């Protein structure tokens, strides 16, 4: 009987010690507003339609994040992206981008990823009109109550 009591006390002590050492779940951040939806994502593309990357900077996270664009291949941060895109957009006088109805949104805790095709109509400074669709994959993260883009991939289908 003494042995049973001793074993029971040991098991009880081990149980309490495992509860004390178990990690506490991290506090979930609360976003300032609703998660990005089609209207929010269209605002991003309306900003790109101005051909001025400064008009979309508020949607992108600073720091080392990877952004893939049509040209050049890759940027390692928002600062690189913002500066690099200026050269690419400098040959155009107007643009209109529309998020198509195939937008697919996948929320997961403080992250959200989405895919869509984007209709584009751009007019070069020489007057040439370019029309088509390209692919967009985007990852948002809730950072201090703001949904910011931490990864983006824009690509054109091979014609």
pLDDT digits (tens, 9 = 90+) for 84-120: 888 889 999 999 999 999 999 999 999 999 999 999 9
pTM of the model: 0.78
| Integer CA distances (angstroms), 20 to 8, 13, 24, 69, in order | 19, 11, 10, 48
Q: For residue 53, give its domain range.
A: 32-155
| Integer CA distances (angstroms), 58 to 41, 61, 88, 150, 154, in order | 13, 8, 20, 12, 18
Question: Does any domain span residue 6?
Answer: no
Report the domain count for the chain: 1
Query: What pLDDT was estimated at residue 10?
Result: 38
Query: What pLDDT was estimated at residue 32?
Result: 53
The β-bridge relationship of strands 64-68 and 146-155 is parallel
Question: Does any domain span residue 62?
Answer: yes
Read off the pLDDT band of 69 (50, 70, 90). Answer: confident
Domain at 90, CATH number: 3.10.450.50
Question: Does any domain span residue 138?
Answer: yes
Question: Does any domain span residue 19?
Answer: no
Question: Does any domain span residue 5?
Answer: no
Q: Has residue 139 got a pLDDT over 70?
A: yes
Which residues are CB-neighbours of 108 under 8 A, at least 6 positions away?
Answer: none
The β-bridge relationship of strands 74-77 and 64-68 is antiparallel
């Amino acid at each position: 009987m003494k042995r049973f009591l001793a074993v029971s006390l040991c098991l009880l002590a081990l149980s309490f010690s495992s509860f004390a050492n178990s990690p506490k779940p991290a506090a979930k951040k609360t976003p300032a507003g609703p998660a990005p939806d089609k209207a929010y994502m269209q605002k991003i593309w309306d900003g790109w339609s101005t051909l001025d990357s400064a008009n979309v900077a508020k949607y992108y996270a600073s720091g080392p994040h990877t952004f893939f664009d049509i040209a050049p291949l890759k940027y390692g941060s928002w600062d690189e992206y913002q500066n690099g895109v200026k050269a690419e957009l400098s040959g155009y006088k107007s643009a209109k981008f529309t998020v198509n109805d195939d937008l697919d949104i996948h929320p997961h805790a403080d992250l959200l990823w989405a895919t869509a095709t984007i209709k584009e109509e751009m007019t070069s400074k020489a007057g040439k009109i370019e029309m088509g669709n390209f692919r967009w994959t985007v990852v948002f993260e809730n950072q201090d109550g703001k949904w910011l883009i931490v990864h983006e991939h824009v690509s054109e289908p091979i014609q």
